[in-house]
Chains A and B, each alone.
Chain A
Amino acid sequence: MSGNLPNRRLIQGNEAIVEGALAAGCRFFAGYPITPASEISEILSARMPEVGGTFIQMEDEIASMGAIIGASLAGTKSMTATSGPGFSLMQENLGFACIAEVPCVVVNVMRGGPSTGLPTSPAQGDVMQARWGTHGDHPIIVLAVSTVLDSFEITVRAFNLSEKYRVPVIILSDEVVAHTRETVSLPAWEDLEVTDRISPDTPPEWYVPYEGSSSGVPDMAAFGKGYRYHVTGLVHDVRGFPTQRPEEIEAFTSRLFRKISQGFHEIQKVETVFMEDAETAVIAYGSVARSAHRAVIMGRSQGLRVGLLKLVTLFPFPRRLVEPVLHQCKAVLVPEMNMGQISREVNRVNSSACRVIKHNRFDGQLITPEELMPRIEKMTS
């Protein structure tokens, strides 16, 4: 029983994201309400002033993304939250945050799409958009949540990774996780590990804003602290000014990717259930991982040696954690509430004889454990 835990509350996934953001030190939120993400804005409009932060309801999602980039450059941890249609509008400025290396967190509570799609129904159709929605070669971090507790913990993690690597982090939730209420005991803020960006310790006149340390992550000076530098969406040299010199362009782009690939061990996370002796596995993320979890338990009770690999980090795709599962299993099932987006990634990294089986649902309904069972039975036999 969970009865002995202190501070128990019954909250929605969206509210847990709010609490996670505040606990991680987010003090600026700009957004435009949209189902099924509206509660994040609604609750933050009350909570943000309580902690001395700023909440702004913007005129649209383009401006929301612009506002959080500005606030982050001024030294404040920032977040926005939206759903598919708004996420599309954010893509251009998201690219600016990528190239200017501005830490920020963007929550996308997925609903059916494209366009206005199915406002009140769950979906997982924005996985590839989260990775490649903004143009140009760029690294980005995408994390998926599947429970209310996840929504809290992964939001804290999103801020930590964003600050540490100076990269936008996308949190993909979905209508089911966002609107399901669960009892949780959230940890006290002082018990959490919180990462802040590294500020320069050099005098302002020596500051080279995009030099990058051995980790590839440059120290970040907050605007208004006496450090003058140039921020641009153009490819820039170490001083932040536009460049066309091939050796500078190459060094810049390489560093953007290197800083993330050097952190794979920390960024890429998965969870496993019954994987030790599994002959087959279900690979799932978001709310579908919960259906898969149930189905795996049902399978085990029938004596089937099936396990669950729950993806927490979707991008950079956790290849080094998925490959061993593909080598271990004769078949894996990849259920998704889309036509097959992560299953492509699984296929891409599959170099073994493992069969990758898709299971796709796109009718606005959560995949059920019952519909997964026949697929698991068939793949195990």
Chain B
Amino acid sequence: MMKEGERYELIFSGSGGQGLILAAIIFAEAAGVHDGFYVCQSQSYGPEARGGYSKAEVIMSKNPIDYPKAIRADLLLSMNQASCDHCFEVLKPEGLLVVDASLVHQIPTNRSVSIPFTEIARKSAGKEMVANMVALGAVGRISQSVSLKSLETALVARVPKRTVEMNLKALHAGIEAAEAVDLSALPKTIVPEDDEL
């Protein structure tokens, strides 16, 4: 659990059009508006409408947040290989990498959770488009930094009405997929053991 004065930093990365910024906004709204944390949510992306690079950040704290960007991420979600390669160095040694197994094949650390978000989205909700919500559910469950009920509430408020059901299905599928993950079985840091070098 987060202590006073600490920051919890998440990065949602992938390509433009995957809905990572929306996922980050929903996460920030759940943590900030419903769970009562201070949050800062920001994004950076290229000029393309689809494709290209897209990254969204969420900083959470029990105290007011000064520097609004990630310094060392506690959790990095990567929805494609390029963003994984690009953002990995921002991860803390004890940080956790979460990747879309359908799209990221070269994983730079064993301290990672690989879940096929895009495939789950197709199977559970019928559309790859909601892979962002599958990932959001998984990140919410794995990070344990936000209540899942708040995530649901924030999601319902932020997505178009006619898509609520589909998005909720995806969110729950993500949460369920993450429940199968045993974090204690992972190495403690992303730094390779000496004998592996």
Cα distance, A176 to B44, chains bound together (Å): 10
Write the B11-53 contact mask toward A (1 if CB under 8 angstroms, else 0): 0000000000000010011001101111111111101000000
- A46 in the interface (beta carbon within 8 A): no
**Residue from A120, A183, A287, A370 whose CB has the most chain B CB atoms within 10 Å:** A183
- B66 in the interface (beta carbon within 8 A): yes
A181, B33: Cβ atoms closer than 8 Å: no
Cα distance, A130 to B25, chains bound together (Å): 33
- A115 in the interface (beta carbon within 8 A): no
Asked whether A2 and B66 contact (CB < 8 A) given A181-B25, A181-B42, A370-B71, the answer is no
List residues of A (169-217) whose CB comes within 8 Å of B's CBs: 176, 179-183
- B108 in the interface (beta carbon within 8 A): no
B33, A290: Cβ atoms closer than 8 Å: no
- B69 in the interface (beta carbon within 8 A): yes
> A287 to chain B: which residues have CB within 8 Å?
68
List residues of A (323-381) whose CB comes within 8 Å of B's CBs: 366, 368-370
List residues of B (43-93) whose CB comes within 8 Å of A's CBs: 43-45, 47, 62, 64-69, 71
B36, A1: Cβ atoms closer than 8 Å: yes
Write the B100-113 contact mask toward A (1 if CB under 8 angstroms, else 0): 00000000000000
B39, A368: Cβ atoms closer than 8 Å: no
Q: Which of A3-11, A83-91, A253-261 lies at the interface?
A: A3-11
Asked whether A293 and B33 contact (CB < 8 A) given A181-B42, A368-B71, A370-B71, the answer is no
B40, A2: Cβ atoms closer than 8 Å: no
B38, A183: Cβ atoms closer than 8 Å: yes
List residues of A (276-305) whose CB comes within 8 Å of B's CBs: 287, 290-291, 293-294, 297
A9, B33: Cβ atoms closer than 8 Å: yes
Asked whether A2 and B36 contact (CB < 8 A) given A10-B25, A181-B25, A291-B67, the answer is yes
B67, A180: Cβ atoms closer than 8 Å: no
B37, A2: Cβ atoms closer than 8 Å: yes
Classify the secondary structure of A's interface with B: mixed
**Residue from B25, B65, B66 whose CB has the most chain A CB atoms within 10 Å:** B66
A179, B33: Cβ atoms closer than 8 Å: no
Asked whether A180 and B38 contact (CB < 8 A) given A8-B33, A10-B28, A120-B47, the answer is no
> B42 to chain A: which residues have CB within 8 Å?
176, 179-181
A366, B69: Cβ atoms closer than 8 Å: yes
- In this complex, how many residues of chain B approach chain A with their Cβ under 8 Å: the count is 25
| B38 to A, closest residue via Cβ | A2
Interchain CB contact (< 8 A) of B66 among A4, A8, A9, A294: A294
> A180 to chain B: which residues have CB within 8 Å?
40-42, 68
**A364 → chain B closest CB, angstroms:** 10
Asked whether A182 and B40 contact (CB < 8 A) given A120-B47, A297-B66, the answer is yes
> B62 to chain A: which residues have CB within 8 Å?
1
B37, A1: Cβ atoms closer than 8 Å: yes
A183, B33: Cβ atoms closer than 8 Å: yes
**B83 → chain A closest CB, angstroms:** 17
B66, A10: Cβ atoms closer than 8 Å: no
Write the A87-123 contact mask toward B (1 if CB under 8 angstroms, else 0): 0000000000000000000000000000000011000
**A359 → chain B closest CB, angstroms:** 15
List residues of A (1-48) whose CB comes within 8 Å of B's CBs: 1-4, 8-10
Asked whether A290 and B37 contact (CB < 8 A) given A179-B42, A181-B25, the answer is no
**A174 → chain B closest CB, angstroms:** 11
**A289 → chain B closest CB, angstroms:** 9
A176, B32: Cβ atoms closer than 8 Å: no
Asked whether A3 and B36 contact (CB < 8 A) given A120-B47, A180-B41, A180-B42, the answer is yes
Cα distance, A370 to B62, chains bound together (Å): 22
| B39 to A, closest residue via Cβ | A183
> B47 to chain A: which residues have CB within 8 Å?
119-120
| B68 to A, closest residue via Cβ | A180
B28, A294: Cβ atoms closer than 8 Å: no
**B35 → chain A closest CB, angstroms:** 7
B43, A179: Cβ atoms closer than 8 Å: yes
| B25 to A, closest residue via Cβ | A181
> A297 to chain B: which residues have CB within 8 Å?
66
Interchain CB contact (< 8 A) of B32 among A4, A8, A179, A291: A8
**B105 → chain A closest CB, angstroms:** 30
Return 15 A-B CB contacts under 8 Å, by A number: A1-B36, A3-B36, A8-B32, A10-B25, A10-B28, A10-B39, A119-B47, A179-B43, A180-B42, A181-B40, A182-B65, A291-B67, A294-B67, A368-B67, A369-B71
User: What are the nearest 9 A-B pairs in CB distance?
Assistant: A3-B36, A183-B32, A294-B67, A293-B66, A181-B41, A294-B66, A180-B42, A10-B29, A8-B33
Q: Other CB < 8 Å A-B pairs besides A182-B39, A366-B69, 16 of them? A: A1-B37, A1-B62, A2-B36, A3-B37, A10-B25, A10-B41, A119-B47, A120-B44, A180-B41, A180-B42, A181-B41, A182-B65, A183-B32, A290-B66, A368-B69, A370-B71
Chain B interface (Cβ < 8 Å from any Cβ of A) = 25, 28-29, 32-33, 35-45, 47, 62, 64-69, 71
